[in-house]
Amino acid sequence: MEDLTPRLRQQEQAAGVTVAVLEGDWTAAQLASVRVWKEVSTRLASFSTVQDWDLRHIGALDHLGALALWDHWGRQWPARMEAHPDQRAVLERVASYPVVAPPSGQRSFSQRVNEFGLGVEAALAQVRDFVALMGQLLLDFLRLVAAPHKGPWRDFTGHLYRIGAQALPITALVGFLIGVVLAYLMSQILRQFGAEAFIVNILGLALIRELGPLLAAVLIAGRSGSAITAQIGVMRVTEELDAMRVLGIPAGFRLVMPRALALAIAMPLISVWTSMAALVGGMLAADITLGITPSFFFEALPKAVPIANLALASAKSLVFGVSIALIGCHYGMRVKPNTESLGQGTTASVVASITAVILIDALFAVLFKKVGM
C-alpha cells in the first residue's frame, strides 16, 4: 500500500545544489494528525536554508499543505521551484489571499495606556447610561402619577406575579434551611456558656435585620434580574426595541418602569417572607437542639428585636428591588443583536446586581447602625 504521509528528503545535484523533494499527500486529511504536523514542521525547519524545491513527486496538494509551505517560505516564492501547473495554481491562490498572523502577546506601554483609557471611557459611558436610566425612571413615575389611567398596569401585574408570587417557594425553602443551619451552629457555642436563651436574640436580629433581606435580594437578583436582562436582550435581538422606537412607544415607560415598580413592591414582601421562613427553621432547630420551645420563642422575639429592624429591612429591600430592576434593564438595553452578547449581558447583570446588593447592604449597615439596636 502506498504511503501517503507527507515527507521531505534532500537530493544533491551535480553542481552541489541541495534540492528539497516533497513526497506523499500534503492535504488536510494527512496533516490533521498532531504527530504528523509536528514531524512536518520539524522537518521543514531543518530545510530553512534550502532555496530549490521540487513538488512534482507530491501525490495531492490542497490549501492547507500549500499554506504550510508558503508560511515556511516566509510568504515569498523560493529561488527555484519545480511544480505541476495545478500545484502552482494552488500556491498562487494561497499567495493571493494572505492570512495575517495575530498580534503577539507583548504589548507596548502606549498600547497599555490606550487600553486603560478605553476601559475608563467605557466605564464612564456605562455610568452615564445608568444615571440617564434612573432619571428616565423618575420622569416616567411622575408621568404615571399625573395620569394613572394611562399606566401599563397589565405589564405591572404580570411582572409582580412572576417576580413575587412565583419566587415564594424557593425563597421560603432557602430561608428555612439557612435558619436551621444558623440555629444548629449557634446552639453548639451557646450551650458551652449556658446562654441557650440568647439564641432568640441572635436569630431574630440576624435574620430580620440582615440575612433575610440580603438572602432574598441575592435570590431575586439571580432569578429575576437575569430574566429581566434576557427578556429585554431578546427584544433587542429580534428588533422589537427598534420597532417600539419606530412606533413611538417609550421603552422606559413600558419596559423599565413596570419592572422597577413590581420589584419595589415585591422585594419588601419577599424579604419578610424569607425572614419568617428562616425564623421558623431556626425555631424548630432550637427546639430540637436546645429545648427552646416555640412558645418561648414567640414570647421572647418581640422583646429581643425592636420593630424598627423590620422597618429598616423593608426600606432596604425596596432599594434592593429598584436597583436589581434598573441593573437588569440597563444590561438588557446594552445587548447587541447577537446571542453571544445576550449571554454576556445576562451574566454581567447577575454579577452587578449581587455586587450592588452587598454594597447597598453595607451602606445601610453603616448609616443606620444605631437604628433598632
Residue found under cell 429581566: 228
Q: Categorize the per-residue pLDDT at 174 as very low, low, confident or very high, splitting at 50, 70 and 90.
A: very high
> How far is Cα 360 from Cα 176, in angstroms, rounded to an integer?
24
Q: Quick one: pLDDT band at residue 8, thresholds 50, 70, 90?
A: confident
Q: What is the pLDDT of residues 305-326, one digit of tens each?
A: 888 888 899 999 999 999 999 9
| Residues 160, 164, 167: CA angle, nearest 5 degrees | 145
Cα separation, 100 vs 272, in Å, equals 60
pLDDT at 2: 61
pLDDT of 89 reads 87
Q: Render pLDDT for 86-112 as a digit per residue (tens, 0 to 9).
A: 888 888 888 887 666 556 567 778 888
Give the separation between CA 252 and CA 368, rounded to whole angstroms.
Answer: 32
- Helix (H) and strand (E) counts for the chain? 16, 5
CB 27 within 8 A of CB 56: no
pLDDT: which is higher, 187 or 319:
319
Burial class (CB in 10 A: 0-12, 13-18, 19+), 193: exposed
* 264 pLDDT above the threshold of 90: yes
The whole-angstrom separation of Cα 365 and Cα 203 is: 17
Average of pLDDT values for 59-68?
84
- pTM value is 0.70
**pLDDT for position 373:** 64
Q: Could you state, in order of their start, the residue ranges of all structural domains in the chain?
A: 7-96, 129-367
Q: Name the DSSP letter for residue 334.
A: T
Whether the pLDDT of residue 151 is over 90: the answer is no
Report the largest interatomic distance among the alpha carbons of the chain, rounded to a whole angstrom.
109
How buried is residue 342: exposed, middle or buried, by Cβ count under 10 Å (0-12/13-18/19+)?
A: buried
Average pLDDT of the chain is 86
Q: Can you tell me the mean pLDDT for 140-157?
A: 89
If residue 204 lies in a helix (H) or strand (E), which one and from where to where?
helix 199-205
Q: Read out DSSP for 349-365?
A: HHHHHHHHHHHHHHHHH
Residue 357 has pLDDT above 90, yes or no: yes
* 4-8, 237-241, 266-270: range with lowest mean pLDDT: 4-8
61-70, 81-90, 258-267, range with greatest mean pLDDT? 258-267
Q: Would you place residue 36 in the very low, low, confident or very high pLDDT band (cuts 50, 70, 90)?
A: confident
Q: What is the pLDDT of residues 205-229, one digit of tens each?
A: 888 888 889 999 999 999 888 999 9
Length of the chain: 373
C-alpha cell at 225: 434580574
Per-residue model confidence as pLDDT tens digits over 233-249: 888 888 888 888 888 88
Angle, alpha carbons 368-372-373 (nearest 5°): 95
Task: Report pLDDT for 252.
Answer: 86
Fold designation for 7-96: Transcription Regulator spoIIAA (3.30.750)
